[in-house]
Structure formats: C-alpha cells, structure tokens
Chains A and B, each alone.
Chain A
Amino acid sequence: DTGVSQDPRHKITKRGQNVTFRCDPISEHNRLYWYRQTLGQGPEFLTYFQNEAQLEKSRLLSDRFSAERPKGSFSTLEIQRTEQGDSAMYLCASSFRDPHTEAFFGQGTRLTVV
C-alpha cells in the first residue's frame, strides 16, 4: 500500500455540471476525511467517515455536496451543479482512529469550474 490516493488529480468542468472525486485510503485505516483547500488558506474540514458511517458534516458542505464510503473502503465526493466558488483543492485523508493519531493525506484533486 503506497498511501492515500485520489483520482483524478485535476478536473476542469463547466459551471452547472456534476463532478465526482474518488479517494482510496490506506487499507487498514477506519477513518476517512475530506477537506477543501483554497489558495492561501489551510485545509477546511468537510466531512468524515468512521468505517462506512458518515459521522460529521461541516456547514461548508452544502446540499449540493454528497459523500459516500460504501463498505468502509474507498470514498467518493460528488458536487452537483458546480459553481465557480467550488474551485479548490479537495483533499482526502485517512487515519487509524482519530486525528490525535497521524492523518495521512492524499495529493488532492484540483477542481477548476469555468
């Protein structure tokens, strides 16, 4: 296992289109997190899963955003009806138990909405 992988690395989409990102965590990790990072800012928490259960969602996660983690393995983040304000880097991270232990981050998916 080579770490957390995210696909695609880059996505350019037209406003109003739907996009879906995938994250494959480190296989033994039961926690998976999604963050969003805009230019000049640190990552902002969006949501996290413990196994297949989505336990918390940030206020940043509008109803156009949905995340899933079927069977507690990979996760997908879908954005419907994309807006220019959705342009950002979307980061996935995984950890064994909680963020008090080390979280391992993927390289992110850069979304550009034109």
Chain B
Amino acid sequence: GDSVTQMEGPVTLSEEAFLTINCTYTATGYPSLFWYVQYPGEGLQLLLKATKADDKGSNKGFEATYRKETTSFHLEKGSVQVSDSAVYFCALAHQAGTALIFGKGTTLSVSS
C-alpha cells in the first residue's frame, strides 16, 4: 500500500543553520505531496504542497520539490529560526482522493 517515510528526529540546529528533512514515498499513480507542521499546543497546519512531478512548493522560506524519479519530497530551509521549532509531517494524498497518508513526523528544535 501507499506509505511515507521521513527521517527520524529529533533534529537539533542552531539559528540560521540550513535545514533538510528527508521524505520519500511509495504510491501508485500520481499522488499529491504535502508538508504539514504542528507547533507546540496547536493543530496540524499545511506548510506547503506540490501536486505533480517537478513542482516546487514553498512557504515561509521552506521549499520542497516533487521528485518522481527518486520518489522524494525533501523539505529545506536556508536559515532556520527559533520559531520554526515544531514537528514536521510529510504526507501524500493518493490519486483516488480518499485521505492523507502521513509519515511519522520529525521534531525540529532550533536554539538561539
């Protein structure tokens, strides 16, 4: 079945460091890919998405490119801030459009 695998955390960085969180997926067809973020005490919220191969999603300085050849959707940010500390979830929506399938989440902790 469809699945999402993302790198284990926690990821601990200093402010202004470069961030990469790896995400790979297994799915039939052409899923849409998402990154959701969960800040402490808050609900999940969409960070960015890409709906077809080679699309780049971007928001708040974060970027991810839909790579069909490597079945990947890695999240990157050039310079992280303390306020980026959160849990990040990679997810896919199957072409059939039923429900989101999530990875296990990666905790990011940024210190000043």
| Chain B residue contacts of A44, Cβ below 8 A | 102
Query: Which of the four size classes fits the interface of chain A?
Result: 20 to 34
Q: Interface of B with A (CB < 8 Å)? A: 4, 32, 36, 41-46, 49, 51, 89, 91, 93, 97-105
- When chains A and B are docked, how far (Å) is the Cα of A107 from the Cα of B38? 10
Cβ distance A35 to chain B, nearest Cβ, rounded Å: 8
| Nearest-neighbor residue (CB-CB) of A46 within chain B | B99
Top 7 nearest A-B pairs by Cβ distance?
A42-B102, A98-B97, A99-B93, A105-B44, A45-B99, A105-B43, A107-B43
Taking a contact as CB atoms under 8 Å apart, the answer to whether A100 and B104 are in contact is: no
- When chains A and B are docked, how far (Å) is the Cα of A24 from the Cα of B27? 31
Given contacts A98-B93, A100-B51, A102-B49, contact A43 B44 (CB under 8 A): yes
- When chains A and B are docked, how far (Å) is the Cα of A97 from the Cα of B32? 14
B103 in complex: contacting residue of A42, A56, A98, A99, CB < 8 Å: A42
A33 within 8 A of B: yes
Cβ distance B57 to chain A, nearest Cβ, rounded Å: 12
Cβ distance B81 to chain A, nearest Cβ, rounded Å: 23
- When chains A and B are docked, how far (Å) is the Cα of A4 from the Cα of B46? 14
A42 in complex: contacting residue of B45, B49, B91, B98, CB < 8 Å: B91
Taking a contact as CB atoms under 8 Å apart, the answer to whether B43 and A40 are in contact is: no
| Chain A residue contacts of B49, Cβ below 8 A | 102
- When chains A and B are docked, how far (Å) is the Cα of A4 from the Cα of B43? 9
- When chains A and B are docked, how far (Å) is the Cα of A75 from the Cα of B42? 21
- When chains A and B are docked, how far (Å) is the Cα of A19 from the Cα of B43? 22
Which of A41, A98, A102 is most buried by chain B, counting CB atoms within 10 A of its CB? A98
Taking a contact as CB atoms under 8 Å apart, the answer to whether A43 and B46 are in contact is: no
| Nearest-neighbor residue (CB-CB) of B36 within chain A | A105
Cβ distance B50 to chain A, nearest Cβ, rounded Å: 11
